[in-house]
Every structure is written in C-alpha cells, then in structure tokens.
Structure 1
Amino acid sequence: MRYALALDLVDDAQRIADYEKAHETIWPAVRDHLFSNGVIAMEIYRLGTRLFMVMDTDDAIYSPEAMARADATNPAIAEWEALMWTYQVPTPWTPAGTKWTALRKIFSLDSQR
C-alpha cells in the first residue's frame, strides 16, 4: 500500500538544514526498524517548511497499529523521534497528539485511462 503524509518543520534555516543532514544517512536502527515492520520504500520531499512523505508498505507485514506498537517498545525509535520532534511541528490540520498526517488522494492519472 502507498501512504502519503505531511508534516511541517520549524521555520528556521539552520534547523531545516540539520533535519536534512540527519536524513542523508538515517540511523541503522531506524532503517532496520522500518524494513522489519513492512516499510519497503520511503521518500520525503520538502517545500519551504512543509514535508511530504511517500511510504510504500508490504500489506502482509505492515499495519499502522502494529507499527505504533513496535515504535513504542523500541528505545532507538523513541530517541530518533524525540530528536526529530526538535525540528518538526504539526501542520495546521494535524490532529492533536499526532505527527505525520495522512493526505487524501484526490487524483490519479491511472483512473483517467
């Protein structure tokens, strides 16, 4: 399955640069955690302070609920997320208590065939 998610960054040039630097090579524990929980591909794009993530998952392994449980029990993920949160802020449309927010697909070229 493909997920499209959005999140904002703190509006500070140095923090944005630091965030991008942290993603040049993510921690091996974070990478391994993503793969072991069914994430098969992930890309993050930025426009100004807005981030857009595309995440492809293996439906036989991945579920948002299982991923949340795995995140909660992994100290490396907790440390990574705490660090990332120093750079991130919720979008104006993000529900309280969440970070990355799912986008609603409104167009697909495939549907126009």
Structure 2
Amino acid sequence: MVSKKLYYACDLVDNPKLIEQYKRYHSKENVWPEITKSIKDSGILDMEIYIISNRLFMIIEVDETFSSERKQKMDAENPKVQEWEKLMWEFQQALPIAKKGEKWLPMKQIFKL
C-alpha cells in the first residue's frame, strides 16, 4: 500500500472561548463517530490537527484511493458531515487568501532536510 501525506491550514475565530469549545469538539471522546467513519471511508489513513493561537495545521496520511474531489463529493452527499461542517463554521474562519466557501487550504512544502 502506497501512502502520502498532505498538509492544510485553517484559522479559527480569534476568541478564546470559541477556541476552547472547538478543541473540545475535537477531543477523542467528542468527535462524532460518523465524522471519523467518513474520514476513513475517503481513503484517509491518519489525521492530525495542531493549533497555535487561532491557526490550525492539519496533516493527513492518505492511501492511493484518496482524492480531494472524491472526498468533497462524499462529504456533500453525507447529511451528518454537512451538519458537522455547518457547526464547525461557527468556530472556523477562512484564511485571508481563501476563495468564498474555502476553509482548509492545502500547504506547499518549501523545505525538507
């Protein structure tokens, strides 16, 4: 099995109470099981999200079946994922360079040792 890693960034609304609430939603015991299932079903093998201040950084490890387009289509057709995404928009805000409706933007590697 071939896997690769992809990297994304997103911002949160710069409000300490909302940031703490967002972190609670993402704790292992609070993430909706339908969300973790949809993530795995899309070909994502592993996912990590890091935070500093209100900036989020996500690393996903994907298998050969994963494509961003397929994941977007699957998410659009899943009512529970749509409910989750609507809820998360209460906490997230697009990066300044994002187009309308974009939040998690892919990052490009500029250095590797």
TM-score when normalising by structure 1 = 0.92
2:110: which partner in 1? 106
Deviation at 1:99, TM superposition (A): 1.1
Residue 41 in 1 paired to residue 46 in 2? yes
Q: Runs of 5+ in structure 1 lacking a partner?
A: none
Aligned-residue Cα RMSD (Å) equals: 0.8
Percent of aligned positions that are identical: 37
Deviation at 1:95, TM superposition (A): 2.4
TM-score when normalising by structure 2 = 0.92
Q: Where is the helix percentage greater, Structure 1 or Structure 2?
A: 1
DSSP-derived class of the 1:104 partner: coil
Give the letter for the 2:23 counterpart: E
Aligned residues: 108
> Whole-Å Cα distance in 2 between the matches of residues 45 and 95 of structure 1?
23
1:10: which partner in 2? 13
Report the more deviating stretch, 86-95 or 15-24. 86-95
